[in-house]
Amino acid sequence: MNKKVLGVLACTAVAASMVASASAEDLITVGYAQVGHESDWRTANTKNYEDVFSAENGYELSLIDCDNDNAAQLEAVRNFITQGLDYIIIAPIQSAGWDTVLQEAQDAGIPVIIADREIEADASMYDAWVGTNTKNEGITAGNWLAEQLDGAEAKILQIEGSVGASAAIGRTDGFAEVMADHSEWEMLDSQSGDFTQDGGQSVMESFIKSYEGQFNVVICQNDNEAYGAMDAMDAAGITYGVDGDVILISYDATHDGLQYTLDGKINCNVECNPIQAETVKGVIEKMEAGEEYEATTLVEDQAFCAPGIESEYATTMTDEILAGRAY
């Protein structure tokens, strides 16, 4: 068992051995099986859940950081079931392999909300879904690139997110769909950087060894991978961004990612909004009240591009946009 899971179980045991106060008994207990802490996006998402599912708002949140370990996440959900929590929220590390544990939650009568990413399970196996359309994000990246290149050749290197994560699968598939219409584009290589800065840097270092001088587009499936890729290109003397030899595309559009976009280092940054907890809370409130609730809620995204670039698919970055980005 993962140490963090054990830690939380220990705390729960202490709490149970105390005489629960009347107000604590009134709190709605929610377990959130969080992916991990791999990226700035994830940190913002965790903080958002901690802020929204507070005791002040009537909730007791058990948030388990599963450290990108699929087995630990299944274990965390099973612990939530054993503890008999009122609601379970899962941000699935892997999209596959959920049927058994979802059945266990259903048998225990605990509603499950899938958040952030998608899963490969029949919709009857869970109660609601709140997240973003990552395939559309990939399509946006592809459309933006096609518009900018306007028929010119592209030799592309892609740093994917974590293997088996719907956010990586969606972005890869969406971009591939646009690429299928462009015989002048070639995907030289596409490897996982695990949604981390270190991963982005080491994949980019190995790409540079194999393809130096042969590529003009780098796509990173999140901002942290882009930071690592930029470090690797800086070290190799490869220029990127609006004044560079390489077009750099990123996803997430977190504050720092948008700063690099405003500075012209990232050409296009496709947004993915991590602020989802309020929407999930709204679903739970309706469930509590026995009212009808949205089975599926899509959190909307947009895209941003560097100053000097005009696009039908992305908003040109300004100081004001950056100032308004809290995460």
Decide: is 39 part of the binding site for ligand GYE (CB under 6 A). Answer: yes
224, 39 in Cβ contact below 8 A? Answer: yes
Alpha-carbon gap, residue 234 to 236, rounded angstroms: 5
Residue 192: how many other CB atoms lie within 10 Å: 19
CA–CA separation, 120 and 106 (whole Å): 17
Q: Does 65 bind ligand GYE (CB under 6 A)?
A: no
N-terminal to C-terminal alpha carbon distance within the chain = 32
Nearer to ligand GYE by Cβ, of 29 and 166: the residue is 166
Query: Is residue 135 at the binding interface for ligand GYE, with CB under 6 A as the rule?
Result: no
- Interface residue with ligand GYE, options 28, 32, 38, 66 (CB under 6 A): 38
Within positions 96 to 125, which residues make up the interface with ligand GYE, using CB under 6 A? 116-117
Provide the mask over 200-229, with x wherever binding to ligand GYE is found by CB under 6 A and - wherever it is not.
----------------------x-------
167 forms part of the interface with ligand GYE (CB under 6 A): yes
Residues 9-28 that bind ligand GYE (CB under 6 A): none
Residues 6+ apart with CB under 8 A from 183: none
Contact flag: residue 265 with ligand GYE (CB under 6 A) = no
Q: How far is the CB of 226 from ligand GYE (least distance, A)?
A: 10
Does residue 281 interact with ligand GYE by CB under 6 A?
A: no
Q: Does residue 252 bind ligand GYE (CB under 6 A)? A: yes
Q: Which stretch binds ligand GYE (CB under 6 A): 11-19, 35-43, 175-183, 286-294?
A: 35-43
| Residue nearer to ligand GYE on the CB measure, 60 or 118 | 118
Query: Which range binds ligand GYE by CB under 6 A, 33-41, 152-160, 175-183, 298-306?
Result: 33-41
Taking CB under 6 A as the binding criterion, the range among 20-28, 39-47, 104-112, 152-160 that sits at the site for ligand GYE is: 39-47
Q: Using the minimum distance from each CB to ligand GYE, give the nearer residue, 106 or 327.
A: 327
Does the protein bind ligand GYE through residue 253 (CB under 6 A)?
no
Q: Which of 175, 251, 293, 304 binds ligand GYE (CB under 6 A)?
A: 251
Q: Which of 128, 203, 248, 272 binds ligand GYE (CB under 6 A)?
A: 272
Residue 129 interacting with ligand GYE (CB under 6 A): no
**Contact residues for ligand GYE (CB under 6 A)?**
38-39, 41-42, 116-117, 167, 195, 222, 251-252, 272
